[in-house]
Amino acid sequence: MKWKMFSRFVLIIVFSIIISLILNFIIAYKLFVQEENYDDKWDHVRDFSLTFNRYIEKKDDRVKVTSEGIEKLKDYGAWIQILDEEGYERYHWNKPKATPSHYTPSEMVFYNIYAGAIEDYTTFAGTAKIDGYKWSYIIGFPMEEVAKYSYYYQPKKLNSNIIKVTVFLLLTPTIVILVMGYVFGRSLTNPIIEIIRGIQELSKGNYEVFYAEKGIYKEVFTNLNKLSNQLKLNEREREKTEKMRGEWINNLSHDLKTPLSSIKGYSELMADGDYSLTENEIKEYSRIIKDKAAYMEELLEDLKLAQVLKAGLFPLNLKEQDMVELLRNITIDVLNNPKYEKRKIAFNIGTEPIIFSFDKKLMQRAFANLLFKFLSS
1: pLDDT strictly greater than 50 = no
Interval 105-114 mean pLDDT: 80
pTM, two decimals, is: 0.39
pLDDT tier at 285, thresholds 50, 70, 90: confident
* pLDDT at site 80: 95
What is the CB neighbour count within 10 angstroms for residue 249?
Answer: 14
Distance CA 250, CA 246 (A): 6
Nearest to 365 by CA among 338, 329, 339: 329
- Comparison of pLDDT for 171 and 231, the residue scoring more: 231
* 218-271 helix and 155-203 helix, angle to the nearest 10 degrees: 20
* pLDDT at site 268: 82
Interval 85-100 mean pLDDT: 92
Question: Is the separation of the CB atoms in 114 and 122 below 8 Å?
Answer: no
Distance CA 223, CA 220 (A): 5
- Comparison of pLDDT for 100 and 183, the residue scoring more: 100
Interval 183-207 mean pLDDT: 76
Q: HSE-up of 371 (CA within 13 Å, CB side)?
A: 23
363: pLDDT strictly greater than 70 = yes
Domain boundaries, the chain: 2-38+153-190, 40-142, 316-377
* pLDDT at site 37: 46
With pLDDT > 70 as the criterion, what percentage of the chain qualifies?
77
* pLDDT at site 152: 65
Q: What is the CA radius of gyration of the chain?
A: 56
pLDDT tier at 334, thresholds 50, 70, 90: confident
Q: Which of 73-77, 207-211, 301-305 has the lowest mean pLDDT?
A: 301-305
* pLDDT at site 36: 47
319: pLDDT strictly greater than 80 = yes
Nearest to 10 by CA among 193, 187, 185: 185
* pLDDT at site 192: 76
Interval 115-133 mean pLDDT: 85
327: pLDDT strictly greater than 60 = yes
* DSSP label of 117: T
- Comparison of pLDDT for 241 and 353, the residue scoring more: 353
Write the pLDDT tens digit of every residue in 141-169. 998 888 877 666 667 665 666 677 666 66
Handedness of CA 279, 281, 283, 289 (dihedral sign): negative
- Characterise 119 by phi-psi region: left (phi > 0), alpha (psi -120 to 50), beta (else): left
Partnered with residue 374 across adjacent β-strands are none
- Which string of DSSP letters, residue by residue, matches 45-93? HHHHHHTGGGGEEEETTEEEE-HHHHHHHHHHT-EEEEE-TTSBEEEEE
* pLDDT at site 296: 81
324: pLDDT strictly greater than 60 = yes
Write the pLDDT tens digit of every residue in 222-275. 888 888 888 888 888 888 877 877 777 777 777 778 788 888 888 887 887 777
* pLDDT at site 140: 92
Strands 121-130 and 62-65, sheet pairing: unpaired
Query: What is the fold of 40-142?
Result: Beta-Lactamase (3.30.450)
Write the pLDDT tens digit of every residue in 30-89. 655 554 444 566 668 888 999 999 999 998 889 999 999 999 999 999 999 999 999 999
